[in-house]
Each structure stands twice: as C-alpha cells, then as structure tokens.
C-alpha cells in the first residue's frame, strides 16, 4: 500500500450544518478558532476573522457575553468569510440575541441556563432557524455533584455522564442539532473521555485539549490529544486552544489535518533535511526563511530545502519542488528534475517564485519553462556533487572514524 492510499476510517456521525460548512457525517474534518477581540469592536473582530480564515479556520467563534456583543455580531455575521459561532455562558438572553443577529451556531451548556423554560426558548428558536448548538463539557468546570459521585475526581466517565445529561436537556425539548466536546487540559483524560463518548453517541464531536498553554508545549499537547483521536476515526471538527495569537491555532489545526491526510493540502508542506557534516548552507536558517516566505501563501505543494546536492535531490525526490545547496549556489529541482541554478542568496526567493509559477501554470509548464536550462542545471549539480564528495569524502560526518576511535579506546 503506498502512503497516499493510507486512510483513517472515520466513525460515522450525524451531520449538522454550521452555515454552509458541514460538520459530521462524511464531511471533511473542519478547523475552528476563536477571536480574542471584544465582539462589540466590529472592525477589529472582522480583521481577526479574516486572518483566521486565511490561516485555515473553517469556522470562527466569538464571545457573546454582553448586549453590545450581540449587536457586534449583527454587523460581523453578514461580512464574515466563514460561519460564526456565538459563545454563550449563562445568559439565555444572549443566546436569543445571537440567534437574532444571524449566527450560524451557538456554544452553550443547557445545564448552565438552568430554567427549563429558558432552555426550551433557546432550543425552539435555534430549531426554527436550523441552527446547531455545541455542548461544551469541560473537565475543569465539571458539575460538583458528578465530581463527588466519581470520588472527588474528574474522570472520563464523569465527563461523559455530564455530556449525556446536557444532551438530555435538549432531547427533552426535541432538539437534536447537537455537537459535543468533552475537553480537558490533561491529554490522557481528554482522549479517554472522547473515546467513551464516541461509543455512546453519534452526535458529531468537536475535539480539543483545553487550556493547552503557550507554544511549543501547547501545540504538542493539543496535537497529542487531537491526532490520537483522529487516527482512531474519532472527531469531526477540531480546535487548538493555545495561549498565543489565534492565527497560530488555525494554522496548527489546518497543518494537522493536512499531515494526517484528512484535508487537501492548502498551504506549502515544507520539508527540510536535518543537516549534517555534508551541508553547504545553514539548513535551519534557510528552512526558517522559507517557512516565513511561504507563510499563508496557500500554495498546495510539498517544498524541500536540502543541505547538499549529494543526497538532497534523491532524499527529496517525492517533493514537488526543492532546492539543494552546493558550492555557494542552489540547485532547484521540480519533481526530481534539475531545472535551474541560482546564487545561494536567492535560494528562498527562487523557491517562492517557482512555487507560485507551478500553482498558476502547472508542472508541465514549469518543466517546459526549464527546457533550455535543464541540461546545464543537471551538469552543474553533478559538478557540485562531485566537488562535495572530493572535499568531504564518502564519510562527511566522520562517523566511521569515530567508530574506529571507540573501538580503539575499549
Ligand atoms: S546528506 Fe545532505 S541532504 Fe542529507 S542531511 Fe546531510 S546535508 Fe542534508
């Protein structure tokens, strides 16, 4: 089986529509994030929503904690490039106002709203408008009665029971446009809670590790929890909850789905060699520059930055486009074919320029573009390859010498 044909089998869930974005069923897994602006500040919030959408967010949540926030939503929703979810805490009036403002989804826990007539009013209004609601159980704010019942501990069982109680509030009033999350900041707890929940419900699941913290550990924790579940086929929509610019959340969410093959590649997948004694450039530095240069350019290609022309083109032959360093110049290759040679200082700019060309004109046009230079490019790469081998020998990392030394010193 080749790598492209490996696919995770997803657990079948019901489907709800968040605006024009389907969540659950056979819909692709979606990326969510949340604005950090005051929702009443319409321009700042819209600016952030556009940045989040450009970074890969399919759905964006905004808090709706004040009457002014609902008024802000009335201006934001019609101008937003992606569906908007209103985050509601205890006040059912904010939920009704957010619905009136035209939001595409609510996030609230009926248990927090308490009064049955208020829960009923929100559910009826949401149902009439065909608007789904996410129930968000959080390990850190578990119902005290459940906490006590499970031995003064937050357990996966307690979180699942809490979710089922919240679902029951809605089902009693005949509302089933539901998504659910059972987030925790503890990764094993979160994983197990979602596993157990997916056994007992077929409502779509929103995955996340709550309060994951700042990068890089926040990213690592979120990835550990979310990726484990996605690989088991669990999860319909995801959010990285990072203590950082929410654009990072959207970017990370999108990158995770692309790396798991759950979404079509939208942005560049940058690969780079780990560098070694044969490298002719500072691979970390050039890879970092390339990462920044591509940023959110939305070029769906795999691009390689390789430290030497001896092994680089071979090791990255499956990349769509790549550059390998050799003797103060960069050897550019398209799907393994040498196409051009450029000065070292122009390596990153050249990668970006060719990636943009391939995006608009295609691979055949890129190879045709290089028809006259291909022969000379291959020749130059061979010369630099030979020079590197002559300079550094077959064992550029001196590994064999070290092994000999180790043996001698025994
Ligand atoms: S051999 Fe070349 S491509 Fe491979 S790690 Fe070393 S520098 Fe990078």
The 10s digit of each residue's pLDDT in 37-56 is 999 999 999 999 999 998 89
Predicted local confidence at residue 267, as pLDDT: 83
pLDDT-derived band at 2 (thresholds 50, 70, 90) equals very low
Q: Is residue 2 part of a domain?
A: no
Q: Which of 272, 274, 278 to mutate to test ligand 1, by most ligand atoms within 8 A of the CB atom?
A: 278
Nearest CA to 341 out of 300, 278, 383, 299 is that of 383
* CB of 279 sitting under 6 A from ligand 1: yes
Residues 255 and 292 in one domain: no
How open is the CA angle 305-309-313, to the nearest 5 degrees? Answer: 65
- CA–CA separation, 410 vs 403, rounded Å? 11
Residues 254 and 279 in one domain: no
DSSP 186: S
Of 206, 237, 259, the residue at which a domain comes to its end is 259
Q: Is residue 286 part of a domain?
A: yes
Q: Which of 277, 286, 312 to mutate to test ligand 1, by most ligand atoms within 8 A of the CB atom?
A: 312
Predicted local confidence at residue 83, as pLDDT: 98
Least confident of 158-162, 186-190, 266-270: 266-270
Helix (H, G, I), strand (E, B) or coil at 130: coil
- pLDDT tens digits for range 339-393: 999 999 999 999 999 999 999 999 999 999 999 999 999 999 999 999 999 998 8
- CA–CA separation, 103 vs 134, rounded Å? 13
Q: Is residue 402 part of a domain?
A: no
Residues 102 and 202 in one domain: yes
Q: How far is the CA of 282 from the centre of ligand 1 (A)?
A: 11
Q: What is the mean pLDDT of the chain?
A: 93
Nearest CA to 124 out of 177, 60, 203 is that of 177
Predicted local confidence at residue 278, as pLDDT: 92
Predicted local confidence at residue 274, as pLDDT: 86
Residues 249 and 353 in one domain: no
Q: How far is the CA of 277 from the centre of ligand 1 (A)?
A: 8
Residues 250 and 273 in one domain: no
Nearest CA to 331 out of 357, 298, 354 is that of 354
User: Above 70 in pLDDT, residue 298?
Assistant: yes
Q: How far is the CA of 283 from the centre of ligand 1 (A)?
A: 9
* Domain CATH number, residue 240: 3.20.20.20
Give buried/exposed letters for 73-106 (b at 16+ CB in 10 A, else e): bebbbeebebbbbbbbeebbebbbbbbebbbbbb
Q: List phi, psi (to 5°) of 94.
A: -65, -35
As a whole-number percent, the residues of the chain with pLDDT over 90 amount to: 82
pLDDT-derived band at 7 (thresholds 50, 70, 90) equals confident
Would you list the DSSP string of 210-226? Answer: TT-BSTTHHHHHHHHHH
Q: How far is the CA of 352 from the centre of ligand 1 (A)?
A: 22
Question: Nearest C-alpha to atom 3 of ligand 1 is from which residue?
Answer: 312
pLDDT-derived band at 143 (thresholds 50, 70, 90) equals confident
User: Above 90 in pLDDT, residue 140?
Assistant: no
Ligand 1 atom closest to the CA of 280, numbered from 1? 7
Overall average pLDDT of the 213-217 stretch: 94
* Domain CATH number, residue 380: 3.30.413.10
Predicted local confidence at residue 409, as pLDDT: 84
Residues 26 and 156 in one domain: yes
Predicted local confidence at residue 5, as pLDDT: 65
Nearest CA to 266 out of 250, 282, 283 is that of 250
Residues 248 and 374 in one domain: no
Residues 358 and 321 in one domain: yes
- pLDDT tens digits for range 53-85: 988 999 999 999 999 999 999 999 999 999 999
306 vs 410: which has the higher pLDDT: 306
Predicted local confidence at residue 296, as pLDDT: 74
Helix (H, G, I), strand (E, B) or coil at 146: helix
Least confident of 100-109, 206-215, 265-274: 265-274
Based on the structure, what is the number of domains in the chain?
2
Overall average pLDDT of the 324-339 stretch: 94
Predicted local confidence at residue 1, as pLDDT: 42
In which domain, by residue range, is 72 found? 8-259
298 vs 43: which has the higher pLDDT: 43
């Amino acid at each position: 089986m080749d790598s492209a044909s490996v696919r995770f089998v997803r657990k079948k869930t019901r489907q709800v529509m968040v605006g024009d974005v389907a969540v659950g069923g056979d819909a692709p897994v979606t990326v969510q994030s949340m604005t950090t602006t005051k929702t009443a500040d319409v321009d700042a919030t819209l600016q952030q929503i556009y940045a989040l959408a450009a970074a890969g967010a399919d759905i964006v949540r905004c808090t709706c904690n004040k009457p002014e926030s609902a008024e802000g939503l009335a201006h934001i929703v019609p101008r937003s490039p992606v569906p908007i979810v209103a985050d509601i805490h205890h006040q059912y009036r904010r939920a009704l106002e957010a619905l009136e403002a035209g939001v595409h989804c609510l996030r609230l826990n009926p248990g927090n709203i308490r009064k049955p007539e208020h829960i009923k009013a929100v559910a009826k209004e949401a149902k009439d408008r065909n608007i789904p609601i996410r129930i968000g159980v959080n390990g850190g704010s578990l119902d005290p009665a459940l906490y006590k019942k499970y031995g003064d501990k937050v357990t996966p069982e307690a979180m699942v029971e809490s979710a089922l109680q919240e679902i029951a509030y809605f089902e009693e009033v005949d509302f089933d446009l539901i998504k659910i999350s059972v987030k925790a900041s503890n990764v094993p707890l979160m994983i197990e809670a979602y596993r157990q929940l997916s056994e007992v419900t077929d409502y779509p699941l929103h995955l996340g590790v709550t309060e994951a913290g700042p990068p890089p550990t926040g990213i690592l924790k979120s990835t550990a929890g979310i990726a484990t579940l996605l690989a088991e086929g669990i999860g319909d929509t995801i959010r990285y909850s990072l203590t950082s610019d929410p654009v990072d959340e959207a970017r990370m969410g999108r990158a995770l789905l692309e790396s798991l093959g759950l979404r079509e590649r939208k942005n560049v997948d940058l690969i780079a060699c780990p560098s070694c004694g044969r490298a002719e450039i500072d691979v970390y530095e050039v890879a970092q520059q390339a990462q920044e240069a591509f940023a959110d350019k939305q070029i769906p290609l795999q691009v390689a930055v390789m430290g030497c022309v001896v092994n680089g083109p071979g090791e990255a032959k499956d990349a769509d486009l790549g550059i390998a360093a050799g003797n103060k110049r960069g050897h550019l290759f398209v799907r393994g074919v040498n196409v051009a040679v450029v000065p070292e200082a122009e390596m990153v700019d050249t990668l970006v320029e060719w990636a943009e060309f391939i995006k608009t004109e295609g691979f055949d046009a890129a190879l045709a573009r290089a028809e006259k230079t291909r022969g000379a490019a291959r020749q130059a790469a061979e010369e630099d390859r030979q020079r590197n081998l002559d300079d550094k020998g077959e064992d550029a990392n001196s590994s064999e010498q070290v092994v000999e030394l180790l043996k001698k010193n025994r």
